[in-house]
Amino acid sequence: MTEYCRPVQFRDRYQIVALSPEPDFDPADITGYAVLSPDGVRIHHELTVDQARMWVDTLLQEEALQHTEPRPPGRPVRPRR
């Protein structure tokens, strides 16, 4: 079965798309929603657009935490001679 994607929303660098079995978009034919990575790879599937939004928001929060957590101490930096 072929699935067709219709863009619904961008959240940061992720895209939420509606999935439909028909090439002509009809809201009654939507079978679910997918979250696409910046490269266009489907990384998650949900039944409702609200669930997809919440999943992306959680993902973005986790990514933000990873960037703000202090890095473990490493070797001290020595000046070059």
Per-residue pLDDT at 65? 85
Q: Please name the residue that has the structure tokens 């798309």.
A: 17
Confidence grade of residue 74 (pLDDT, cut at 50, 70, 90) = low
CA distance 16 to 5: 9
CA atoms within 13 A on the CB side of 37: 4
Contacts of 26 (CB under 8 A, 6+ apart): 20
Q: What is the pLDDT of residues 47-71, one digit of tens each?
A: 999 999 999 999 999 988 887 766 6
User: Domain of 51?
Assistant: 4-68
The type of residue at 40 is G
Domain for residue 76, yes or no? no
* The token pair that represents 51 in the structure block: 């669930």
Domain for residue 55, yes or no? yes
Domain for residue 54, yes or no? yes
Domain for residue 73, yes or no? no
- Which tops the pLDDT comparison, 1 or 33? 33
Domain for residue 27, yes or no? yes
Task: Tally the domains of the chain.
Answer: 1
Domain for residue 79, yes or no? no
Domain for residue 80, yes or no? no
* pTM of the predicted structure, to 2 decimals: 0.77
